[in-house]
Amino acid sequence: MLSFTQLRSARRTQRRITIAATLAIVSATLYACRDAVTSVDDDPDGLGAGIHREYGAPIAIGNGHARSYINIDTKNGNTPLEIGVTFEESAMEGLPMDMGSHGGHAGIDLPLPAQNPTSYKLVELDWNPMGHEPATVYDQPHFDFHFYTISAAERNAIDPVTLGDVGFQTKASNLPTAAERFAFYVPVAPPEGPVVAVPYMGVHWADLRAPELQGAFGHPENAKLFTTTILHGSWDGRFIFDEPMVTRAFIMGRKTAVSPASRDSVMALSSAQQYRNAAYRPDAYRVTYDAQAREYRIALTQLKYRQ
């Protein structure tokens, strides 16, 4: 089975956190005339009156900005329908190639909207200009979108230095119950040995059916170039994040796609037999382009209340 030991640089530094916080303050100030920390759009995507999109504060990236958002159905008790990340068109240009101490990728925490009826507490945006391991699989320039159901403090506590090697591996090896696992997903681990946890993230679970992984899983004839996929993450007995990974090329391709289905690509997700906590959970994720807003969107969608 694949090893993601070096899937991405894991060490978070105070420098990165400070930079991200500074960018948030500067970006929010620059956007003062356009949006407050949270803004609302009526009838996003033509969903109908009463469906609102709440935005979080913008963060500078590339030549533009990214920000989180949540679509909320105000007609039905402020039910969340979708949570995601938007990019201005210009944000896809001028992306950094040298990420300094972050080992080739950058991680930025995007503030969530003030009104957040979902179970997600944190959205982390990672840009991987050279991709990451495994080589020949995820080495395309792409973004990772971590939607965490834990706080930033809890995520940052996934720390091998603080926990020690034994404590860290013990928590990593404490996997969710079989009934809580997503169909066709397996934890990343070497052929022989314990599961591998990425510090400050957790154990990544991969879909055995993912086209880009077929070569590694013994079916090279079915392997395809990575464009988009979704992973899940666990730590100390529970799932803590959902992670769409999407190449820059695939995101930008939604603008020029010929068919409506390709311009708004919606991919169904595996489900579990049971969930530890009652919450709104996605049945799909989507990658789309909004010509009116001139924004790209990557989101967990079709949220349904499950328990």
Does residue 45 lie within any of the structural domains?
no
Does residue 21 lie within any of the structural domains?
no
Does residue 178 lie within any of the structural domains?
yes
Q: Give the other-Cβ count within 10 Å of 10's Cβ.
A: 18
Does residue 4 lie within any of the structural domains?
no
Lowest-confidence range among 115-119, 124-128, 218-222, 252-256? 218-222
Does residue 204 lie within any of the structural domains?
yes
The angle formed by the CA atoms of residues 277, 5 and 18, to the nearest 5 degrees, is 70
Domain of residue 204 covers 103-306
Is residue 108 pLDDT above 60, yes or no?
A: yes
Q: Quote the tokens at residue 237.
A: 């007995």
Q: Where are the beta strands (DSSP E) in 96-237?
A: 106-110, 122-128, 142-148, 185-187, 197-198, 202-207, 228-235
The C-alpha atoms of residue 1 and residue 204 are separated, in whole angstroms, by 12
Q: Give pLDDT, residue 15.
A: 33
- The three state secondary structure string of 2-49 is CCCCCCCCCCCCHHHHHHHHHHHHHHHHHCCCCCCCCCEEECHHHCCC
Helix (H) or strand (E) holding 139: none
Q: Give pLDDT, residue 277.
A: 85
Is residue 186 pLDDT above 90, yes or no?
A: yes
Lowest-confidence range among 3-17, 173-187, 265-279? 3-17
Q: Give pLDDT, residue 158.
A: 95
Q: Give pLDDT, residue 32.
A: 37
The angle formed by the CA atoms of residues 179, 198 and 302, to the nearest 5 degrees, is 50
Is residue 68 pLDDT above 70, yes or no?
A: yes
Whether residue 206 contacts residue 270, with contact meaning beta carbons closer than 8 Å, is answered with no
Does residue 87 lie within any of the structural domains?
no
Q: Give pLDDT, residue 46.
A: 63
Does residue 185 lie within any of the structural domains?
yes
| Identity of the residue numbered 164 | G
Does residue 222 lie within any of the structural domains?
yes
- Which backbone phi and psi does 12 adopt, to 5 degrees? -90, 140
The C-alpha atoms of residue 29 and residue 24 are separated, in whole angstroms, by 9
Domain count, the chain: 1
Lowest-confidence range among 133-137, 202-206, 231-235, 295-299? 133-137
The C-alpha atoms of residue 58 and residue 238 are separated, in whole angstroms, by 30
The C-alpha atoms of residue 187 and residue 231 are separated, in whole angstroms, by 10
Task: Say how many Å lie between the first and final Cα of the chain, rounded.
Answer: 31
The C-alpha atoms of residue 120 and residue 71 are separated, in whole angstroms, by 13
> Residue 130: CA atoms inside 13 Å, Cβ hemisphere, count?
13
Is residue 217 pLDDT above 90, yes or no?
A: no
Q: Looking at residues 142-157, what average pLDDT do you find?
A: 96
